[in-house]
Structure 1
Amino acid sequence: MIENYLLEELVTFAKYGTVAKTAEVLGLTQPAVTHSMKKLEEELGVKLFIRKPNKLYLNETGKYTTREAKKLINDNLDFTKKVKQFDKDQTTLVVGFNAPGPGIVLRSLHDKNIQIKNNLVENNFEKLLSEHQLTCVLINFPIEDRDITSTYLGTESMSVNLPSECKLNENKELSFKKLKGKTILSPSPIGFWTKIYHDEIPDSKIIFQNESTEYSEILQYSVLPFFTTNLTSLDSQWGTNLPNNRTVRPLSDEVAHQKFYAVYLKQNKNRVMPLIEKLQDQWSKYDQK
């Protein structure tokens, strides 16, 4: 079996073209590089170089070997990365989600054995699970196939917070349709909820704000309505310092009530179930029936 360092030296030589530069880049001596090139030829049983006084050139076989060596090195790096990712997946639960709500519940557990993906995960769920990039993903629909299964966690329900002088306060419950033409504040990013807003109230202006401190200040000093959910109060950033001079009106639309599921590989069921049970217990305290 060809040792990896011989391939790395060959690829480096092909890139820089001289033994001297190869040695410099790799932190080796020139005789050591020359010895390695000869050893590689001997192990392969072919000539890789055209040798001239004080100069070494790759022949066609050498060029082909370099291309194949690059592939092997890249494959080995990918192999190493996958093994390390799998090992990490066995010791730490890596969890992603496609909207802020499940992340709020997850963070409220303060579980040190969980690594939370900072950015929302909005596609390729099956691939991320099968490649062990995620142990579990919390999304608003179940996935069931040969290798993947799902467990219901809870429902996130949308409400709008209205200023006292707003005529919509006459309604105990509202729909997206009744918010037509309104300017409404919303935190960001919020994943698929953004599309729901655009689809359900296209004639309204949604002002998105992704800095929690600025968002809180805007809420305090404006009279604009803003969105919250049954999970907002659990959030250590968006859920704090909300104005107390608003009337909370739930939205009756079916799309305003999103069910969330923990999706995971069946082989990982025993590992993720303790976390799922904690999420279900925590969520049930805020789930609107």
Structure 2
Amino acid sequence: MAELNQFYQLVAIADTGTLSKAAEIVHISQPALTRSMQKLEAEWNVTLFDRQKNKITLNKTGELAVQHARRILDDVNTMTDAVQAYERSLRTISIGSCAPGPLLELLPELTERFYGMALNSETTASGRLLPGLEKGTYQVIITDREVTAPDILCRPLCTEELCLTVPPAHPLAGCKEGIYLDDLAGETMLLLNEIGIWEERVISKMPQTHFIRQDQDEAFSALVQASALPAFASNLTLKHSKRWAERTNRLALPILDPEAHITFYCCVHKSHKAYLPGQRMV
């Protein structure tokens, strides 16, 4: 019976066009690769290659074999991913979110309700969330819109509202009733890089605002504390994040644009209904 490694070898030959390069890719010697392909031909009682002096090419039968080999290898990779994802789900709750703020709302509840299980969360592109949930990469996803799909349960999680934080002496500090994004044209602001969907919803609509970006959360926090430059916060960071609560030298000004307000939804597969917020443990 043909072995899986022979399918890898066959595809490598098709992709590289030579035995020598294919042998390098599959980490065996060229003579060993030749013997493996001869064994495969004998097993199937077919000829897969046209052989000439110092040259070997796939014939029509070989090309068909490569097509099937690719599909089999894709299926093996899909199976491996599914099995590994299921194994992780037995001891880890993986959460994908389109923004970091809603994780501040969800993670404490899951930590309390599922003591002993590891929580793994990441902020990622919206388009990856539902496929990730369906594949088992995530057990919980947080989206910016309601998901209606078979076998998916979805409910509102929270609403995040952006605000602008400024020192009391900043020229915008008097706008206590709120400001618009256009009011920030020409301003220089501090910005944390990993903000998920807010990049598309808000930052992309501020071409005349200059942003000094920071990758590390703690470094960003220290920079904001030491700086007089404006920075974004939200009702969720103000509620959950200790670093904002300690920043008494800053005023939080509401942002009035509709883009600055997003209702987020928590979605799970029906088999993981218990992971929805507000569920009772039985």
- Matches for 1:195-210 after TM superposition, within 5 Å: 195-198=200-203, 202-210=207-215
Partner of residue 63, structure 1: 62
Preserved contact between residue 130 and residue 141 of structure 2 (Cα < 8 Å): no
Matched, 1:165 2:169: yes
Matched, 1:255 2:259: yes
Partner of residue 275, structure 2: 272
**Corresponding residue to 1:17 among 16, 19, 36:** 19
Give unpaired runs (5+ residues) of structure 1: 279-289
Change (3 A) 1:28 1:259: same
Normalized against structure 2, the TM-score is what? 0.72
- Matches for 1:91-102 after TM superposition, within 5 Å: 91-102=91-102
Normalized against structure 1, the TM-score is what? 0.71
Deviation at 1:269, TM superposition (A): 4.1
Give the distance between the partners of 1:28 and 1:199, measured in 2 at CA.
53
Give the distance between the partners of 1:271 and 1:179, measured in 2 at CA.
44
Give the distance between the partners of 1:145 and 1:108, measured in 2 at CA.
27
Partner of residue 77, structure 1: 77
Give the distance between the partners of 1:115 and 1:229, measured in 2 at CA.
23
Give the distance between the partners of 2:172 and 2:10, measured in 1 at CA.
73
Give the distance between the partners of 1:143 and 1:253, measured in 2 at CA.
25
Partner of residue 153, structure 1: 157
Partner of residue 41, structure 2: 41
Partner of residue 281, structure 1: none
Deviation at 1:3, TM superposition (A): 3.6
CA-to-aligned-CA distance 1:121-165 (integer Å, 9 cap, x gap): 332433222222222211222111334331111122222222222
Preserved contact between residue 48 and residue 61 of structure 2 (Cα < 8 Å): yes
How many residue pairs get matched? 266
Give the distance between the partners of 2:87 and 2:233, measured in 1 at CA.
38
Give the distance between the partners of 1:64 and 1:232, measured in 2 at CA.
57
CA-to-aligned-CA distance 1:184-236 (integer Å, 9 cap, x gap): 32322212223443466554434332233432343233222222112224347
CA-to-aligned-CA distance 1:27-71 (integer Å, 9 cap, x gap): 8995x974x556533432324467899x99667266336524641
Matched AA of 1:262: C
SS in 2 for 1:64: helix
Partner of residue 189, structure 2: 184
SS in 2 for 1:231: helix
Matched AA of 1:247: L
**Corresponding residue to 2:141 among 114, 137, 151:** 137
SS in 2 for 1:223: coil
Matched AA of 1:67: V
Partner of residue 285, structure 1: none
SS in 2 for 1:261: strand
Matched AA of 1:222: S
Change (3 A) 1:26 1:110: farther
Preserved contact between residue 98 and residue 121 of structure 1 (Cα < 8 Å): yes
Change (3 A) 1:79 1:269: closer
Give the distance between the partners of 2:191 and 2:9, measured in 1 at CA.
55
SS in 1 for 2:268: strand
**Corresponding residue to 1:214 among 215, 219, 227:** 219
Change (3 A) 1:140 1:48: closer
Partner of residue 120, structure 1: 124
CA-to-aligned-CA distance 1:75-111 (integer Å, 9 cap, x gap): 3233322332344345532211111102333454583
**Corresponding residue to 1:174 among 178, 184, 195:** 178
Preserved contact between residue 176 and residue 200 of structure 1 (Cα < 8 Å): no
Give the distance between the partners of 2:200 and 2:182, measured in 1 at CA.
18
SS in 2 for 1:123: helix
Q: Which range moved further: 40-49 or 220-229? A: 40-49
**Percent of residue pairs identical:** 23
Matched AA of 2:268: Y
Preserved contact between residue 179 and residue 204 of structure 1 (Cα < 8 Å): no
Matched AA of 2:254: P
